Structure 1
Amino acid sequence: MRTQVLRFALVGVAGFIADAGVLWLALHLGSGYFAGRAVSFLTAVWVTWQLNRRFTFVAHTSGSAWREWWRYLAAMSGGGCVNYAAYCAVVLILPHAAFVPFLGVAAGSVAGLGVNFASARWWVFRHRPQR
């Protein structure tokens, strides 16, 4: 399980990069902090699903990838609520600066990590043999 947690955290770094990159793009296209984050969060969920199913919870895929995607999205939404709350707290509390939204993404990622790992391991990918 230690290896899975480490891999999950590494995938989370890739998710953070996707999240922050899409948020940066959304902000530069005129989106606000909150709408831009909704789009960037969904992007990060898709990226982490792709990586986690191939890297963290490796096994031959059984069942529908479409069903697995919706289960993963639902599972990550629990951690996503924790993540979004931490993001909002950072954005609303800290003085306005260009780096603040990205600090919020980082805080949210750390805040949701445990909830997301538990739901991925014991619900989304439970049908796969665990390493």
Structure 2
Amino acid sequence: MTGQFFRFALVGTAGFVVDLLVLQLLLHALGVGVYAARGLSYLCAATSTWIMNRHFTFTTERTDAPWREWARFLASNAAGGAVNLGVYAALVASGLPLLSAPWLALAAGSVAGLFFNYFASRKFVFTARAR
């Protein structure tokens, strides 16, 4: 499990990079508001981490129904996503100069959801199923 969690954390780090890049693109290049941009960047990051976890972290636990697996991944990680988004929103809304920086709020939200998402993914998404 330790190696698997490490791979999950690596994938999460890559997902954070996707999240950050999409967030910055939406905020600065397209002028999207901070909350809408965060919702869209989260969806991009969640989809990319599902793909990476499917092919790197949980290779033997994958199901043969990718779209259903993706839907389970999004659903089972929704609580972790809610924690992630809640921490982000609270820090952005705080108005404190350091804490309200979108990139720092994004990092804090990502860490907050990491452990929950790992166990939810392991238990509900990437489980070996009889074919």
Q: Same fold (TM over 0.5)?
A: yes
Residues 79/60 of structure 1: CA separation in 2 closer, same or farther (3 Å cut): closer
Q: Secondary structure of the equivalent of 2:121?
A: helix
Give the CA deviation at 1:61.
Answer: 4.2
Aligned residue-pair number: 127
Structure 1: unaligned runs, 5 residues or longer = none
- In the other structure, the counterpart of 1:92 is 93
Q: Which residue of 2 aligns with 1:66?
A: 67
Distance change in 2, residues 1:61/1:2 (3 Å): closer
1:22-71 C-alpha deviation (Å, 9 max, x unpaired): 00011011111100000000000011001001111112743311110101
**What is the rounded CA distance, in whole Å, between the counterparts of 1:86 and 1:57 in structure 2?**
28
Query: Given residue 5 of structure 1, which amino acid in structure 2 is its aligned partner?
Result: F
1:52 counterpart = 2:53:
yes
Please give the residue correspondences for 1:24-63 in structure 2 after superposition, counting only pairs within 5 Å.
Answer: 24-28=24-28, 29-59=30-60, 61-63=62-64
* CA root-mean-square deviation: 1.6
Question: C-alpha distance in 2, partners of 1:7/1:94?
Answer: 35
Q: Which residue of 2 aligns with 1:123?
A: 124
Q: What's the TM-score, normalizing by structure 2?
A: 0.91
8 A Cα contact 2:77 2:117, kept in partner:
yes
Flag the 1:7–1:60 CA change in 2: closer, same or farther, 3 A: closer
Instruction: Report the CA distance between 1:127 and its aligned residue.
Output: 1.7
Does 1:22 pair with 2:22? yes
> What TM-score comes out, normalization by structure 1 length?
0.91
- Higher mean alpha-carbon deviation, 86-95 vs 105-114, is at 86-95
* Partner residue in 2 for 1:7: 7
Q: Percent identity?
A: 48
Which runs of no fewer than 5 residues in structure 2 stay unpaired? none
What is the CA–CA distance in structure 2 between the aligned matches of 1:88 and 1:3, rounded to whole Å? 32
Residue 95 of structure 1 deviates from its aligned partner by 3.2
**Aligned partners of 1:8 and 1:80: how far apart in 2?**
16
Q: Which amino acid aligns with 1:113?
A: L
